[in-house]
Amino acid sequence: MSDRSLVRLGLLDGCREKLAASGRDHILFDDVEADPSRATLMNAVDLGLSTGAVSVIGFGGGSPMDVAKLAAYLLGSGDELDTIWGVDIAKGRRLPLALVPTTAGTGSEATPISVITCEGGVKLAVNARPLIADVALLDPELTVGLPRQVTAATGIDAIVHAVEAYTSARLKNPISDALAREALRLLTANLVQACDRPDGRDARSAMLLGAHLAGLAFSNAPVAGVHALAYPLGGLHHLPHGLSNALMLRPVLEHNAEAARELYAELAPIVDPSCEAAGTQGKVRSLIDGLEQLCEATGLKLRLRDHGIPEDDMPRLAQEAMKQIRLLVNNPCEISEADAQRLYEAAW
């Protein structure tokens, strides 16, 4: 399972040639779009059923991998999709599953989560252990030459995974903390270099590993408010997921600044070593400013208005964000609908 742009670029050629040479018949489903829809997922499942698929490979960014994970589960378990939305509800068996990321961002190859866009642009998720892949293959060669904007957006997505896992109000633990800190170190040290030198193997490798470790971190300590407010931007306005996270990063961190002050202060020297001697409030400011400056250095535009979001859409976005209960409960402090509207307005 992949998308047509990757097929067009020839990134699947080697994999398909090796499969054919080994005597394995394979069927290509390359209709996966950004923010994959329920219809796309069910089309993939139908193809698997009609061809008698016995295993699944997800090859691409987060969208193909998310479709591959959930398709492998539905094909193997026979469960109905509408009975498994949510956390730890899916308990059946899936088909054997391998995942090959071509972006350093979502960490989907490491997580038990699949996010699908349903009716009305609402994003629903299945979060359950059977969705964890048997094999995850990290090959930086597959990310070489990735366009700057994609490198930037996916890299910021991974950074948000690390920050939100470290500060998650639920299930935060010493192992997720260690993974998140190392992920943040790798990602912040290499993102701009990966953008500036798209063929740089060392930076690409560090980004891919950092994104994977961030995926492991938030598989254990789930993400929160930034993602909750990012999802409506993707579902309603079809902005790339990583860009949506970048747009909401500063407003949500500012909202959380007091509740998460000690934890943000612990992360700050990773982003800005010069703040080591500052007090906790100074470190929090260094973290927030440092992450915003990193976003700007990649070339991302960080205002909602820059991406065609009308100012009068803030109430609707806030209403949609309130549907992301599974994410909002992980935030260091409450985000009400009024808060959400204020944060969207701050990002506008």
Does the domain spanning 145-347 belong to CATH 1.25.40.10?
no
Domain boundary assignment for the chain: 4-137, 145-347
Residue 145's pLDDT is 83
What tokens were used for 164?
């939100």
d(CA 290, CA 2): 35
d(CA 227, CA 224): 6
d(CA 92, CA 177): 30
Residue 123's pLDDT is 87
d(CA 162, CA 266): 13
Residue 120's pLDDT is 85
Same fold for the pair 4-137 and 145-347: no
Put the strands of the sheet holding 123-127 in their side by side order. 86-87, 123-127, 113-117
Q: Cβ(166)–Cβ(267) under 8 Å? A: yes
Residue 122's pLDDT is 85
Q: Is residue 119 packed enough to be buried (19+ CB in 10 Å), middle (13-18) or exposed (0-12)?
A: exposed
Q: Is residue 18 packed enough to be buried (19+ CB in 10 Å), middle (13-18) or exposed (0-12)?
A: exposed
Alpha helices in 169-313 (DSSP H): 174-196, 201-220, 225-237, 241-256, 261-271, 280-298
Q: What is the dihedral of CA 249, 252, 255, 257, to 10 degrees?
A: -50
- Beta-carbon neighbour count of residue 147 at 10 Å? 10
- Can you tell me whether residue 124 is helix, strand or coil? strand
CATH of domain 4-137: 3.40.50.1970
pLDDT in tens, the chain (348 residues): 999 999 999 999 999 999 999 999 999 999 999 889 999 999 999 999 999 999 999 999 999 999 999 999 999 999 999 999 999 999 999 999 999 999 999 999 999 999 999 988 888 999 999 999 999 999 999 999 889 999 999 999 999 999 999 999 999 999 999 999 999 999 999 999 999 998 999 999 999 999 999 999 999 999 999 999 999 999 899 999 999 999 999 999 999 999 999 999 999 999 999 999 999 999 999 999 999 999 999 999 999 999 999 999 999 999 999 999 999 999 999 999 999 999 999 999
